[in-house]
Structure formats: structure tokens, C-alpha cells
Amino acid sequence: MKSKKLARIPKPSSESATSRMKLQKSRNTECELQLRSALHRIGLRFRTHRSLLPRRTADIVFVSAKVVVFVNGCFWHGCRRHIGWPKSNIRWWKNKIYNNVIRDQDTDYRLRQAGWKVVRTWEHDTPSVVAQRVASILKKPKRSYRRSFSSSGSY
């Protein structure tokens, strides 16, 4: 995937909009905490908030298995099911969300190129279901190029 150029983002409409954006949690959100709890309940241990690429932080990382989980907020990451645009400064918001989506795609591509398995989940996804999906990814055996032989010597 060739890296797409991010659109130029215009300035926010007001200082109050900037202040509200700065107050939004980017770590330890409710949906992220629920997923972490669900992962712990099924016995999985992991690292949190690890920077695997410059200026990009993963929410949950299984380092030895090279599996990374991102918990995306519907508004900030452009969920097609729940996107609702603010009434003011729509051009600014569309550019902002578009850039987030492009950055997410670029992050996924770069991590996969580096050998990571990437799991993206939405804040509306059921934590226990996502935890089971992650567990199944972690249980998949790594590809082996060895062939096993039966006692008769055939494949």
C-alpha cells in the first residue's frame, strides 16, 4: 500500500473547540478498560500503550506473539456505523477524521510489513467477543516450513 498524503487540516473554529478536544481521553478509555479486563479474565497478559512506530501508540500489545490491538473510538476513527458530523466547522471535522483513517491504514500497513498481526476493534464491539478473537489469533501456530512425517515415511 502506497502511503497516502494527509490532507491539510484547517484551524479549529474556536478556542473552546480546541479546549474540548484536549480534554478527550486518548488512553484508558472505558471501552479500552473493558477489553483489557476481558482479556485478563481469560488469562491473557499484555503490555499497554506501547509506541511501535514513531508518534503512534498501540493500546494493547502482546510483544512475544507480535500481536497489537487498537481500540478505536467511533467518532475519532470514522466508524461507518456511528459517524455523525458536528453541525459547525464540518470541513475541519471531515479533514480531521479523514486524516485519522488514513493514519490508521498506514499504521496497519507498516506494522504488518514489520511482521505484526494487527487487530482493530471499535468502541461499540462487545469486549468479551473481541477478547476471544484476540485469544484465537494468539493460539494460531506460527507457520512452519517443516513437514511432519508419519512413521511410514510418507507425508
pLDDT digits (tens, 9 = 90+) for 92-105: 888 988 999 999 99
d(CA 107, CA 131): 21
For residue 26, what is its C-alpha cell? 486518548
Q: pTM of the full predicted structure?
A: 0.76
Could you tell me the residue ranges of all domains in the chain?
26-139
Q: Looking at residue 154, what is its pLDDT? A: 43
Q: Return the percent helix, strand and coil in the chain, to nearest 5.
A: 35, 15, 45
For residue 132, what is its C-alpha cell? 476471544
pLDDT digits (tens, 9 = 90+) for 2-15: 555 555 555 666 67
pLDDT digits (tens, 9 = 90+) for 69-121: 999 999 888 888 887 887 888 888 889 889 999 999 999 999 999 999 999 99
Phi, psi of 98 (to 5 degrees): -55, -45
Query: Residue 59, class by beta-carbon neighbours within 10 Å (0-12 exposed, 13-18 middle, 19+ buried)?
Result: buried
- Looking at the structure, give the CATH architecture of the domain made up of residues 26-139: 3-Layer(aba) Sandwich (3.40)
For residue 148, what is its C-alpha cell? 511432519
